[in-house]
Amino acid sequence: MNESIKIFLEDLKNSFKDLLPIIIVVAFFQTFIIQAMPENLLSITIGLTIVAIGLALFIRGLELGIFPIGENLAVDFAKKGSVFWLLLFAFTIGFSTTVAEPALIAIAQKAAVISGGLVDAFWLRMTVALSVGFAITLGTLRILLGHPIQYYIIAGYILVVVVTFFAPKEIIGLAYDSGGVTTSTVTVPLVAALGIGLSSSIKGRNPAIDGFGLIAFASLTPMIFVQVYGIIVYSFGDASTVLNTLTVAQEVVKEEGFSLKEIFFGFLGVIKDVAPILIVIFFFQYAIIKKSVPYLPKIIVGIVMVILGLDAFIVGLEMGLFPIGESIAFALTSMGNNGLIYLFAFLIGFSTTMAEPALLAIAIKAEEISEGNIKQNVLRFVVALGVAIGIALGAYRLVSGDQIHYYIIAGYSIVILLTYFAPKYIIPIAYDSGGVTTSTVTVPLVAALGLGLAQNIEGRDPLIDGFGLIAFASLFPMLTVMGYGIYGDYKKRQLNKETA
């Protein structure tokens, strides 16, 4: 018991350390730029404390429950030798978790309102969920076949670019953003555990090279599927109904204050989001594998901790971070100082990414699988730097009014180029990094910033210009992580020359 408390307190200390960059950024802008103290300072302080507790519970729950059950399932499937059931499991996990993804639901509802109902929220979610189910299935098949991931990813990006030239401009930013909001805080660790467990169980596969990459597939395919959906909708729908709804950005802002009833229903909402994952896992474990879950009490404790941690994390964010972050974003867009907008975009991108639970989960696994060659704190810093650059550039693109696809096409071209120079072990992790950066913390703040800018700048359309920042936040970490791998490889060669 004492050992468990000691571990939790260490996790709690690390959680506060992860939140420190966000606190510094918000305090700096509130004090020196906005020059006004927030009215709900006590609520913000309590909220951030709850976030830290939730993050600590979440990480410990992953280690106890989600990681082990995901890896055990992958090993059992490999032993069973049934490709059909393994691929069906992969599709079901991808589809079921994405349909219930809160960030996707929020984006789909905003898209429906802004487009005047031309984009249907339900069918957009179904399109994205089908694409993620397909992606996880394809990624699992790649591991089974032992094919290098870069051939699949490069072909996918080329297809994204080709489809972009045929897609209506109203859907492009939304399609790019859809690729960034599909991988949830719970899905990422489970999918990572599935890939690593599977590659560890198959002879000739390397967990570091073959185990990562499933998340990259899940971030890529929605861009293609949603653009195709857009082509169909705008070809047969009435495009004249598209509205520039000026109230949409305000929908991002959360209600301040929480009643016990709201907290209870929020907790039920988290259970509803996690339930499809658990149903799929236990169905396949008992009905298909026909084997009991090892260390079941420990696994259940871990799952409960994940649910409690995620709920506390979300409640804390809505009490503490979202109101203050969104008020700063809206204040900056009305001040007319573009330099401050870019600085805020950069700093908020960096600080929120450092606190992303999904990124932390991947970084822990990357350090473990690479036997310490990839340091989790360094990887998180490099990914956060990529997100910061991406969101700042995305904000510049929005202010300048440039077309988004030129930036994205140029970015993907550099990703393809760097793939040929990056060491093999870093490529799948780099691709996955693009999918884990836009989750629970980042998406609402980035969406608020993008829609706020599109509202307040003359000549901008919330539907065409308001979306797209999340796409930048997903693209640039791939570049910085591969750059980090290339630099590390170069330093290693230099060291070997000196010692030879």
| String of DSSP letters for 6-42 | HHHHHHHHHHHHHHHHHHHHHHHIIIIIS----TTHH
Q: State the pLDDT at residue 170.
A: 79
Q: State the pLDDT at residue 250.
A: 38
User: What average pLDDT does the chain have?
Assistant: 82
CA angle 317, 308, 433 (to 5 degrees): 60
> Would the pLDDT of 237 be above 80?
no
Q: State the pLDDT at residue 337.
A: 83
Mean pLDDT, residues 182-201 taken together: 80
Helices marked H in 357-403: 357-369, 376-400
Q: pLDDT of 415-466, one tens digit each?
A: 989 999 999 889 999 999 887 776 666 776 677 678 777 877 778 877 677 7
Q: State the pLDDT at residue 259.
A: 63
Question: Is residue 310 within 8 Å of 58, Cβ to Cβ?
Answer: yes
Helices marked H in 284-337: 296-316, 322-335
Return phi, psi of residue 107, to 5°.
-65, -40
Q: State the pLDDT at residue 106.
A: 66
Mean pLDDT, residues 299-304 taken together: 91
Does 486 or 22 have the greater pLDDT score? 486
Q: State the pLDDT at residue 241.
A: 38
Look at residue 101 and give its three-state secondary structure. Answer: coil
Question: Is residue 44 within 8 Å of 317, Cβ to Cβ?
Answer: no
Q: Which residue type is seen at 49?
A: T
Q: pLDDT of 152-186, one tens digit each?
A: 988 998 898 899 889 988 788 888 878 777 766 66
Q: Where are the domains of the chain?
A: 2-499
pTM of the model: 0.80
Number of neighbours of residue 84 by Cβ within 10 angstroms = 7
In whole angstroms, give the CA distance from residue 481 to residue 73. Answer: 29
